[in-house]
Amino acid sequence: MTEFPPCRSTESARAKINLSLHVLGRRPDDYHELAGVMATVDLADRLDIGLRRVTEKDTGWEFSSDSGQLPAGEANLCFKAAYLFFDATGIAPQSLHFYCHIDKRIPMAAGLGGGSADAAAVLRFLWMCWQGGLAESFQLDRRRLSMDQLDHLALACGADVPFCLHGGIRFCQGVGERVSNAIESLSHPVLLAFPPFPVRTADAFRLLDTRRLDQGDRLAPGRQAGPDFAWWSATLERDDRPGIGAMACNDFLEIQADQSIIRLILEGMRDAGAFAASMTGSGPACFALFNHEKDREKAFRTLTAKYPEVNWMMTSLSPRPERLACQN
């Protein structure tokens, strides 16, 4: 066993929005089949992560955050990601000291994938350590963990984590495990709106199932998935803004339409000049894409005055994929 030097990094965990999200039906394994386009934005949590050999002074892994809402210890998704990683590599977790501090900027339970982004950042960090000498320090072959296996670890953490691991703009299918190559796009100005109530993803799926069953829809696998990867890739690469706006949709609006504030937010965004507006994830956060920063800033001023109970943020699409250390 060779010495592993302490490894420390500050990682950016970017939020995601769903440019489109279609819930196609419930699968035999009780998960839901999804299809749509995810995109990272500049809004991000910042993680200070470290890994070193354990010493006799250590009392366990450390986790901290500037947010009192995040679960601590093993209940935290970042810890789950780290445990899964070490289990997959054959390294005993108690042999290393792992610590993580999250500077939380992504609102929670809003549909922006904040927890998934944080877990993905931890996996990227540990992959960097693995490729940078961690494997050899335990006399292990770094090839025992492949990029495909890393993607499987990401999925075990949560449906959005595989996308967040790679970032950019991608067409995603299945429960989130089938992620396309990155799609090129401009970095459009984005306005985010956060209504004053959280939405639990599990509750949203249950409500959507109930609503569709009440309407006589048995959630057949043949439900329309909307435009495919080729359409979205061509549309985003040629910057077809009317096309993007026409297909920016979210099936969870079927159950959130009763929330008048969401309807008013989306109408207000479009009236303010957004070329695309929709809800992201299972909600309640909404987003709008604008042609110019000045248009977004004007919309921000108008809508914050009109709906002061809503939290508004300005950001931009961040189509740059994450850089993962190459496997040797």
Q: How far apart are CA 175 and CA 173, in angstroms?
A: 6
Are 260 and 58 contacting, i.e. CB atoms less than 8 angstroms apart? no
Q: Examine the residue annotation and report whether 294 is marked as an active-site residue of this protein.
A: no
Residue among 317, 324, 245, 291 at smallest CA distance from 40:
317
Q: How far apart are CA 279 and CA 249, in angstroms?
A: 7
Burial class (CB in 10 A: 0-12, 13-18, 19+), 263: middle
Q: How far apart are CA 78 and CA 158, in angstroms?
A: 11
Q: How far apart are CA 223 and CA 159, in angstroms?
A: 20
Q: No. of H helices and E strands in the chain? A: 11, 10
Helices marked H in 64-186 — which ranges?
A: 77-89, 114-129, 135-137, 147-157, 161-166
Q: Examine the residue annotation and report whether 160 is marked as an active-site residue of this protein.
A: yes
Q: Of 16, 80, 118, 151, which is the active-site residue?
A: 16
Q: Which two tokens stand for residue 168?
A: 């950019």
Q: Of 45, 151, 160, 251, which is the active-site residue?
A: 160
Q: How far apart are CA 234 and CA 237, in angstroms?
A: 5
- What single DSSP character describes residue 130? I
Q: How far apart are CA 233 and CA 237, in angstroms?
A: 6
- What single DSSP character describes residue 131? I
Active-site residue set: 16, 160
